[in-house]
Amino acid sequence: MDNPLLTTQELPAFSAVRPEHVTPAIEQLIAENQAAIKALKKSKSRDFADMVKQLDELEDRLNKAWSPVSHMNSVVNNDALRKVYNHCLSLLNEYSTRLGQDQGLFAIYQELEESEDFERVNLAQRQAIRNALRDFRLSGVDLTGEAKQQCAEIKKKLSEITSRFSEHVMDATDAWYKLIDDVDDLRGMPENAIALTRQNAEQRKMQGYLLTLDLPCYLPLMTYCENRDLRKEMYIARTTRASDQGPGSAEFDNSPLMQDILIQRKALAGILGFENFAELSLATKMAETPQQVLEFLMELAEKSKRVADQEFAEVEKFAAQHLDLHELQPWDVGFCSEKLKIAKFDLSEEQLRPYFPVPVVISGLFEVVRKLFDIEVRESNDIETWHADVTTFDIFRDDSLIARFYLDLYARPKKSGGAWMDECRTRRARLDGNLQLPVAYLTCNFPSPLGDTASLLSHSDVVTLFHEFGHGLHHMLTQIDCAPVSGIKGVAWDAVELPSQFLENWCWERESLPLISAHYQTGEPLPDDLLDKMLAAKNFQSGLQMIRQVEFALFDLRLHIEFDEHKDSQIQTILDQVRSEVSVVPVRPDNRFQHAFTHIFGSDDGYEAGYYSYKWAEVLSADAFSKFQEEGIFNRQTGELFLSTVLEQGGSKDPMDLFTAFRGRKPTVDALLRQEGIADLNG
C-alpha cells in the first residue's frame, strides 16, 4: 500500500495514517531532501527562485508529512504513535541541525544577500534571507570541530527531553481520577459540570461521578464545590502533577528532566557565545536584552501589586465574614472569589454559560471577523479529520477560497491540555507557479456536549476561542507568498500574541456580544441586566491575574538568566524568590506548578525565556484595540488597516514597524493598564 504521508494531496489523510507509516516516510523524505540540497549546492545558479524557493519546496514536503503525525500525537495520542513520533523527532532534529550548520548553504545565502539581485527581490524575500543568515549563526554554523558536534548533540537531546516532559504531564494528568458515589459530595457545582462527571464515569464503564484533572472538570469543582476536603484533594493532585510530590511520582516525576533541560540550554547558549540562555532566546525577539524585559515586568508588577494586595485582602475579609473561613488556603481562593463576585455584582459565570452554546458562539465569531475583515467562513463537510468531534471550515474573500482550518474543541483522554493554533499548511508560492493556501489546526479543551445538548461555554472559554482564532487569522489571512515569513512564520515571538489577544476584545463589547450569545433553549439574547453585570465585573481581580502572569514570566526569565547546575534546588529557590517579591496568593510548600509548566519546559518553540511575550504583546494588543474604541469597534476602515498592516504582513517586516504603521506611534503600557482597570485603581 502507498504510504499516505508521501502523497502530494492538498490535505492530510488522517484516517489512513498508521504508526508504521511514519518512520519510513520521514527517513525517505530526509534522504531525498539531502540529495536535492547536495545538488543545489553544486549548482552555479544563485537566483532567488532557483535556490530559496527550491529549498522551501523541500521543506514544505517534509512538513506536509510530519504535520499530521505531530498533531495526532497531541490530540489522539497512543503508545505506538508516541514511540515513532519520538524516534522521528530525533531524526528531524538531526536533519535540521545539519542544515543549520551547513556552511555551503550558509555561503549561498551570504552570496544572495551580497549580490545585486538582492535589491531586486521583494521585501519578504529579503527578510527571509536575513532571517536565514541569523538562524544559521544561531544554529552554530560558525562553530568548528568539537564545539559544532556538541551543539548538534545538545539540540538533539533537548528535542528528546522536552518531548518527554510533555508526555509526563499528559500521563500524570490522565493517571489521576477519583470516583464519587454520593452526588452530595459535589454540592454547589453546576448541574452541567456534575453531568460531565457522570458522563466521564459512563465512558469508562463506571457507576457514579468521575473526577479528573482535565480543566473542564477541575475548574468547576475548584470554583463551586462546597466540599472543602474535595477541593483540597483536587488542588494538591493537580499542583503536584509530574513531580516528586505527586501521584505516580516515580514514573512521571519531571524533576530530573527540568534540571537537564536547563543544563543543556545553558551549555547551548555558552557554545553560541551568549552569557545565558535568555540572551540566546531574545536574539529572535522584539525585546533587546534580558534587563529590558526584567524592567518591563517589574514595571507591571509595581503598578499591579498594590491593587492585587487589595483584591486578595477583600477575598480574605469576605471569606471570614460570610463563609466562616478565617485562614484562606490555596484551594479556597477560587471558591471564595466566586462567592465574592456574586455578592459584589450579583453575577456568577454559570449564569452566563447558558447564553454561550458552541454553535452560537462559533457563528457569532465568524460574523465578527466578517464585519472586521470582510471574510466569510463556511463549514465544509468533505474534509477528513482525526476524530468525530472535529469540524472543518473554509474561508472566502470575494467568493474566492483563501484558507481552511480544522476545529477540535473538546477535552478527551489522550489529548494534550490547553488551547493552541498550529500550522497544517503554509501559504506559499510553489515552484509550479501555483499558490498553496494556508490551513490551520485550532485546538481547545472545552466541556463536551452532554447528550443532544450543545456544549455550553463559560465566558472565559469564549475568550479562549477568540484568542486561538486570532492566531489562526494571523496564519490564514497572510498575503505573503514567501514561506519563511508567511503567516506566523518569522514573526518575533513576543509579537506573535498580538492578533490573538487583540481579537479577545470583541468578547467584551456591547456591540459584539449579541452576535456571540443566545440562550441554548430559548434563543433569547443575553439580557441587558446580565450584560451590565458582566461588563461591570470585567476587571474583577485583574490585579491578581496580572501579578500571576508576571510571576510566571519572571520565574521563566530569571531561571534562564541565573541557572547554575552546581546549586541545589535552584529551580525551586528562584521560584520562591520571585513569589516572595511579587506573589499575593499563598502557596503550599508542596506546590510543584513548575513540573507541569509545559510552555517553558515542554518544547523549544519560543516560550522558554519568552513567557513574558504574553504581557509584551498584550501591551501591543491593548494599544491597537484602543484605536477601534476611538473609531468604532466595527469600523471597516480601521479593520482594513489592521488587516493590511498586521495580519497580512506575516513576518515580512519588523513588528514594531507594523504596529506603528497601524497605530501611528509606538505603544505604551498605559493602554493595557487602562484596559485592565489597574490604572484607575492606582489613581
Residues annotated catalytic, as ranges? 468
Query: How crowded is residue 462: how many other Cβ atoms within 10 Å of its Cβ?
Result: 26
CB within 8 A of 329, min separation 6: which ones?
Answer: 232, 586, 588
8 Å CB contact between 579 and 551: yes
8 Å CB contact between 442 and 421: yes
CA distance 95 to 85: 15
Tell me whether residue 664 is exposed, middle or buried, using C-beta atoms within 10 angstroms of its C-beta: 0 to 12, 13 to 18, 19 or more. exposed
CA distance 182 to 202: 15
Cα distances from 277 to residues 105, 266, 560, in angstroms, run 26, 5, 5
CA distance 613 to 618: 8
Q: In angstroms, how far is the first alpha carbon of the chain from the final one? A: 70
E strand or H helix at 404: strand 400-410
CA distance 474 to 230: 42
> Which among 654, 646, 648 has a CA at the least distance from the CA of 623?
646
8 Å CB contact between 454 and 391: no
CA distance 678 to 683: 9
- Residue 78, classed as helix, strand or coil, is coil
> Which among 439, 389, 631 has a CA at the least distance from the CA of 663?
631
Question: Phi and psi at residue 217, in whole multiples of 5°?
Answer: -95, -45
CA distance 358 to 364: 10
CA distance 492 to 483: 15
Q: Which residue has the cell 465512558?
A: 203
